[in-house]
Each structure stands twice: as C-alpha cells, then as structure tokens.
Structure 1
Amino acid sequence: MLRGIIEQKEISKERFEAKQDQIQKQALKRFIENDSKRNSNLEKIDIKDNTLKSRRKLLNDYDSIAMERIMGKSDLFPISYLQMGTNSGNSICRIQIRDDRGSFIGSGTGFLVSENVLMTNNHVIDSMRTALNSIAEFNYQDDVNFMPCPTCTFRLNPEQFFVTDEELDFTLVALKDNPSSDKQPKDFGHLHLVAEEGKILEGEYVSIIQHPNGGPKAVTIRENKVSSILDDFIHYLTDTEPGSSGSPVFNDQWIVVALHHSGVPNPNKKNTWIANEGIRISSISNYFAKKYNNFTAEEKMFIGEIFSNLDIFSEPNPSDPIPSQIDVGYDSTFLGLDYKVDLPGLSEEMKKDVSYMDNGSYVLDYTHFSIVMCRSRCLAYFTAVNIDGNQAKNIKRSGDSWNFDPRIPTDAQYGDELYAKNDLDRGHLVRRLDPVWGDKAIQANNDTFHFTNSSPQHKNLNQKIWLDLENYILKNAQNHNLKVSVFTGPVFRSDDMIYRGKFKIPAEFWKVAVMIKDDGKMSATAYLQTQKNMIENLEFAYGEYKTYQVPVARIEEITGLDFGELSQYDPIANIESAGMVIGAPEHIKL
C-alpha cells in the first residue's frame, strides 16, 4: 500500500521550502497560460448551462434559494449554513511535519475523508518516512473566549494505507487511534468527497477552513471568487497563508471542491499574490478511477469508503504480452484424482493484500506452476509447481534476463533496482528446472524468469539451492511416476531488514514437498532455511546458514497459510516440534 513513493529522503526545512517554491512557480505558469487562452463568452455560457444540470443534483431540496446564490442573484443563506460550516470544520486538523529526530520542520493542514484516512498535499506528506514522523492535531483552535481548546493528537499510519501523487499534489494516509485520548479520529467526523464534476462554477465563491501559519484553525467565508477552472486545478482569490496547504476548499453547500495547495505569486512584486490554486477533487477521484484495478483488495476497501460513487474504468494495453498464454498453472490433481492437493489457503488479512489481475483473480498461472503475490511486500506469498521427473527436459540456461509480469502493476514487483551492486541474487522460488518438462518445457523455462518468481537471497544461500531438495526427493522417493508438487515462499516478518530505504528483505524461506510414496501413501515434508546472519551487512556478509526439516504445521504458523490436511501426512508431525537440522540429504525423513 505504498503508492507513488519514488524516494524517502529525510525531510528538511530547506527541502520543504524548496518544494513549496517549485509548486508556486508551476501555479503561476498555469495561471498565465490560462489567462491567455480564455474561451469566448458564448462557450462559457454553454459550459455553465451544462454544469448547472449536474449541479442541481447536489443541492438540498429545502434550500429554496440555492440556485439564486449560484447565479449571483442572492446573498441570502439559512442560519444553518454557519452550523454546517462548523460541523465541516471538526474534521480539519493541523499537521506537524517533523524530521527523523522529531524536530519541527513545518506545518500544513489536513482533513478526514473517511473515519481514519486523512487527505493533505504531497508536498506536506511526501513519503512513508515523513508520515511516520509527523502528527495530526485536531481541535487546535480557540473557543468563544479566545482560549485554546483541548487538542487531540494522532500518529499517522502509512503502513495501513498510503497513496500519494506528486503531480496532483495529494496524499491520503491512515491515522492511528490514540489509546491515551478520550476521542479517536472517527469521533471528529469526515468530509464526504463527491467524484463528479460541476461542484463549482467560475464566478462563484468558495470558503476555506485552514491552519494559517500553523496557527489555530481559521476560516475565510465567501470572500474568495473562483476566477478560472482548469482540467485539474481551479484558481480563486482568497486569503490563505503558509500552513494552509492541504486545506479543503468548499462551495456554498459545504461540499469539498478542491484541495488547496499553493498561492499564485505576483511575478512583479515579491511576497504578494494574484490568486490561489487548488487541485480539483474530481481530478483526484479520476486518478483512482483510472488506477483502480492496480490497487489491492484492502486499498480498494479504503478507496470505496472515500469515494463511494467512483466511476471505475481501466485502460488495458492489448500489446502487453501475457507470460504463458496457456491456461495451465498449478494442477491440484497432478498426483492423482485420489490425492488432490489444493493451493494453500490465505487468511482474510492476506486476501486484503494480494495483487489482483484485471479479471479479478489473484492466482498468476504460468506453465506448470502458479504464484500468489503479496502487494505490500512486492514478493510472492507462495509459489506452487508440479514436477514430473519422467518427462523432465534438460534445457540449458541461456541468460539471466528477468521480466515484469504485465498482468499486475509493475510497482507490485521488485525489479532490478533491488539487486544492483550487492550480494543479493534473484533467487528462483520455483526452481528453473522444476516445471521444465513435457511439450511446453521451453515456455516453462522462460516463465520462471519473471520477477514475480524471484526473491532476494544472499548469493551463498541461493547458490547452494536448498541442498537440492527436489532432486533428492525425486531420486529417493521410489515413486512409481516420479511426480512431486512443491510449494515455496518467503517468511514475512515485521522486523525484516529494510534495504535501500524501501525493500524489505526476508531472512527465511520455506518449502513444502508433497508426493505419493511407493506404498501408495501421501508424504508431505516441510523445510525452513534462514539467511538471517547473512544479510545484516549486505556488503560484507559471511557465516553459516542452516536448513531445517520442520513440521508442516510450523510453516502454517509462521506464514499464516493453510495447507489443509497435509499435516496428517507429515512424517515428523508428532516427532519434532522445533525441527531437525539437515546437514546432508540422508537426514531428510520422508
């Protein structure tokens, strides 16, 4: 769930101010270009008439003079208008931007768009790292006696949900509950975002609730005329100050029409402004509509809470090659109809964090094997391969060219950036020769060279290749048809090392091998191998590694996967609970 993160450099006051300056220059450029390309009055009338038709749907039927206000014929408001503004302001907070040492860098504004998801600017919270260091303060305002109100402070929780985009300058990030607070984020309410266009017209007025200069909450009401509406931005004349970045821009119905992000500087006079600029909410919603199929199930759940009326569409590229074009993949009846071995089951939490294809499936089928990817870790939850020793082909390795699988997002797969200039190998999870059998052996060989099938392994671990476990099992099983089904994957732990600022490196890998022995009974054996003492220093790693034969139940325990009834066919299920060190192939118990 770490979308749009290109880098995670430590935030600094200089970098923060430089980004603001860059955004202001871009806003001025858009303002000048738009001013020189204004359409004719006739075209504006046509646009306005069309927009009014959709605008009427957003009005309260009991507000009888709402359309007169929109047309500029009345300034009358029901008294409830002020209460609606107060209610809307409850969900708006001050954001304190801090560096890794906890030092104050700057401030911004944010607002809740669901029970625990905050919206602000990308230039306020630009990465997970910044989010983890920063805090959100609600009710940071003065009461009717101009005395400070009690505030409620919450940490940001980017590991649960985090989406950011530099071009549209927005960030969505989850908040953590505060166990020491009487109130939690959901108690402050949230602003409902409307995806459709037509929520504001040129000439109308907007209101902004903000934390100017990082101070107590303030509001500008209807003194802010919309001067132009661009494809993704709107310009308006309003009083905003630094610290107001990330504020919601409201129309007269207190519907959020834009995310405030910058002033438009006066090119002729320093430190003065000719307008302000906000990102249209309809453009932000359009961003999610276009990319919707690239998000995980859990991300889609959050997005659905934020944009309940999102008009989802996708743009498939027919030229993208599909890895295999053969609907085979792992065969659960490969060992025989009486020995069905299904793919491991995922927990409900794991199902929320898988990479889906456009067809709604998360099982990536290749020739003789299948893979299920973990979205947040960009690595496989597991691989599953059928091995047929009788039909095995000896195809030589012709190179080391790896490819992304176009059926899932590229940013959901670790690529070459991880493996450059270090001792990490692209470890095959499905070993290259395992699915290489039968008439489609060449295609199977090629399919194994997808990044979905790779996992970062220290070269000393990868080159020993698990003591050639599959070779030993095939050679010694005395199986009448030499068939084996093998499941492999990394162990994901919260304390896995973060490498180069964003890659989490698994320290352990597991394998489960299933076969039918000569006596007709099924055997399911499990193995665990660690590289934990190898990756602490990737540049100067050394030391021994160990392989263990462990109960299948142990693999279920540390991965969260469900192997069904396989534990019943595990020869050490009731012998060893901690596992046995495998120093040589003859130590394996089948």
Structure 2
Amino acid sequence: MSLLTEPCLKFLQERLMTQQRDALNRYIRRTRQREKTQQELLTRSSLEVDTPLRAAVRKELIDPRDGLAMERLIGESDLFPISYLEAGLKASHPVCRIEIRDRIGRVLGHGTGFLVTPALLLTNNHVLEDSDSARFSLAQFNYEVDLNLMPRQAKSFRFIPERFFLTDRKLDFTLVAVEESSSDGSKLSEFGHLPLRGKSGKALLGEYVSIIQHPSGAPKAVAIRENRITDVFDDFLHYTTDTLPGSSGSPVFNDDWLVIALHHSGVPDPHDDTKYIANEGIRISSILKFVSSQRPTFNAEQQQLLEPLLADAAVKAGSAPEAEPLQVVDLGAEWYRNLTGYDPQFLGDSFEVPLPILSPSLEADIAPLKDGGRVLDYTHFSIVMSRSRRLAYYTAVNIDGSQLQNLSRNADTWHFDPRIAQKYQCGPALYEHNELDRGHLVRRLDPVWGEAAAIANEDTFHFTNCAPQHKYLNQRTWLDLEEYILKNAGQSRLKVSVFTGPVFRGDDMLYRGKFRIPAEFWKVAVIVKEDGNLSATAYLQTQKNLLDDLEFAYGQYKTYQVPVAVIEGLTGLDFNTLRQHDPIGRKEAAVGHLIEHPEDIRL
C-alpha cells in the first residue's frame, strides 16, 4: 500500500471499524463479569481478584527494594519513590512518532512505535501494514518539547523492511528493522530499547497502567496511571485511558515501566459513535508467542536480529505465553522395585570406579531412605541426597554410547521419590514462577540406553535429580561434555561413568526464605582411553554472576577443566584413586584452564 488512493483510505477505515467492532463484542461479552470485578475491587485487591497464577507472577516482578510496591498493588497506597518519574522518562526514549508516507513523500498520517531491540521496532499492522508502507515511512525520535515547552530536535530514521519485516493482522502488530544511522549521523542506539517479557501476569485486573504516545501525531505525551485494566482476554487487554488517533502502536506500561500491551484500538460506545467506553491493547505475551513460532521461517541473519528480543522475552518457539503450574505425578511403589542403579564395574572388571566417599560431617547430613539405606538407585544411575540442602550431594550415571536411544521428552511432569521423606526433596515451592530451571543433574538422555531406556528417561524426572539452575546455565552454556568424551573413548568401549553435583557453600543465596541456591556445579567424567588407561577429568562452572536478580539477570558463564582434587576440596567428596588418573592433576594450579570449545578438554 505505497499510495493511499480513495479506495485504500476506505479499506483502512473499514479495517479500523472492524477492529473496533471486535473490541466492542469482547467488551459486551464480559459485561456481567466486569461489573462483578468492579464490585470486588471495591473490597478486594488486584492480587485477590485476578487468577492465582497471574497474581503469583506479578508478585515475582516486584522489586524487593521498593517498600511501597505491595501496598500499591493491594490498593493501600499511591506513593512512589521519586525515581519512578526518572524511570518513566528513560522508558520514553525508545518511543517514536511514525510518519506514514507514500511513494512520493506525501504524509498520509501518523502513528506511534517503539524499539524492542537495538534494531527492531514494534507498532500496529494498521500503521505499517506491509513492507511498502514501511519502506516509505519514517520513525521520528525525540519528537517532544523540553522544559521550556520548546520543540527538541527530532531525529528521523528510515525503516529497512528488506532486512526484517513481520506482521500479523489478527494481532495487529508489525515488527520491522530500522536503519542504524539517520541522515544527520545520529545513532539509533542513542535511544535504547524497551525489553519485552513473555510471562503473563505483568499487570492484573484493576491495576493502573500508563501509556507513552504521540496523540494525533503531536509531540510525545504520557497518560500516567489514569488508566485501569478492566478486562484480560487471551490476546487482548481492555483499559480506560486517554488516547487519541495517532496513539496506535503505543506501549502500555505497568507501574514498573514494563510493557504489558501494544495499544491498537478504542472500544466504541454502542449508544454514541462519537465516544469510547474503553481502549484495547494486544498482550505482549501473545505477540511474543507468535514471533517465536515464526522464527524458524527466517534466515540466519534475521534470526540473529530476533535473538535479543527472545532472550529478553524468555520464551521458546511454540511455548505458551503463560507458565503452567508444575505437574507432580506419583509413580507408585512398584516403579522402584529391582532398580540396580550405578554400576562401579561398568567400564570393565579391571577398572572399578566406586561411588565417592563423603567426609564424616557430610555423612551425618545424608538424607536417609525409609528402609535404612543411603543411596537412591534408579535405572543406570544413583543419587545421594543432602538432608539440610534437600538437593543431591552427587549423582552417578553409567553411559553406554553404543546403545543410546534418542527418546522424546515426556510431558513435563516431575516426581517425588517415596523412598525418602518429602521434606528432604525440593519441589514446586522452589521452582514455580521464576527464572530458575529444574536442571537435570543426570542429563535426561545419559541413562537412556538398552532395554530399560524408557524407564530411565522417566527416572530422570525426579526432584532428587533436580537442582535449581538459572535458565541460561541449563540451556545455553553447560557444554555437552559427555558427548565429546564419548567420541574420544576407546571405540571398543564407548562407555563413560559421570559424577555430577552442586557445590554447597555457606554463603549461597537464600531464596524464598528457605532454599539456598548453589552458585557452582561440578562434573567428573571417567573413561578408558584407546591406550587402555583410565582417564578422569573434572569440570567446574559458576553462575554466581547471575544470582543477584533471578528475574532479569543475564550474564556470562565460564566452564573450567580443573584437577579432580579441586572438586574434592570444594565438595568434601573423596573420589578414591581417580585423582591418580587425572591428566592435569600434577600439571596445573587449582584454577585449571578455561573450556571454550570441546577441543580444549584434556583427556
């Protein structure tokens, strides 16, 4: 739609009328529920009126340093730290006026948009409905007035739809690339971007929101907290606010200046077509889910442009925008009969690799089995649990590379082990509604070999085999060490025995008042090499730099190959004679060396 002829203008008006009609239908269908909600909000807080899952997510987003946040959320205070205004000003920088132009440069109208990565801008589909309309239009940043109500110097940037363009009419959004430098040499990076979060629950029914906008194409303006969420639909929000034509494509913020919706339409008054009874925005969680689902359709360069958006959003292609409650399933007592666990003779009769020995102080802290034992045996692996930490001291698994089966992941259900008391196992109370992964200590596919592969696959989904790991550790940086080591094991054997566990420190972060989160994890891998000799290599990885902020932190991990003796010193475990088979045990200081590629491993 490069040139807005009379038919095109009529078509656009019809589309806007359709959007408003759909918004009104949603509004009418919720009339009774809305009236009930309004009455409930007179006596109850947003946390009580909205769903428990959304309320839990909203509470997780509260900055513990903001002592008034909870009071605002439950409706007992309207006070903010003065920094709230500064944060709002910062949030306004990535918001721009969009000047919609045709092929010969005529201005056809205005909208609003905002940067969501250093290179990508989000607005409505009805503002930029195709690559042609984007190609001839401009993003104008800094279009606002200063303290003296004098215009600032606006900075105009062109769109580059050839580099990236994604749009959807149903969700009424467009995501498009913007040039890095304007004609006057200004850098797009000067304006920053608004990170988007994929979780649902960033704002609740009855909560107040703000909108930064270019009403009627005028200089940037803001409607601060005069806007209340009245309805939450699967893909849309309804709220009362002050917006005008030209506000389409504006970001809708919660009190933490997080974007919760993309403003796109008014809800017309069915009795007076000159008035509106509410406004409607598209939920950010729905937009991100759609973007994630489309990612595989883009080339490598375009996927790289999406990476900052999806890293901020913390969503995967095809995942639901709202986290489901953790499912816990009881496997029954019969499941655990005749499980033999880890085999010390797995590498051969001449190469016994027994379970590590715990120091006397650690032995006293082992979580006892109900039958009096201390080792939990599963299919091809075993675990010893800490009573005080409710996590594994260590796991031990046998991997047979010649029989591995690539079974698909089952439904994400987890199990308490009935052989030990539940009070010695960390369950949903630790892992729900945060950025912590239920990190498998024994990797899911490691014991999945032989005739019992399917049973082993399910066995790995026990809370005993689980440790809280920041999602970027579990998904991005823990190298697939076993795979590399298997490839380098003797071809006639292709077997590895692997020990894994957390490092327990007294200063580990206390989380939710009762869980201490390990900041480091270790691994020891044992193989028989081609020359017939045993090799034991040890690895250490830290996530300390991520644990200050579980909701927003993102940092760089380092994985080190270290002497086995270093792991023994950190954990209090004794690996028997393995230190004698460590290729770097006598050559390196305690720090070891950095592993950036599998080829850095010394066997």
* TM-score w.r.t. length of structure 2: 0.49
* TM-score w.r.t. length of structure 1: 0.50
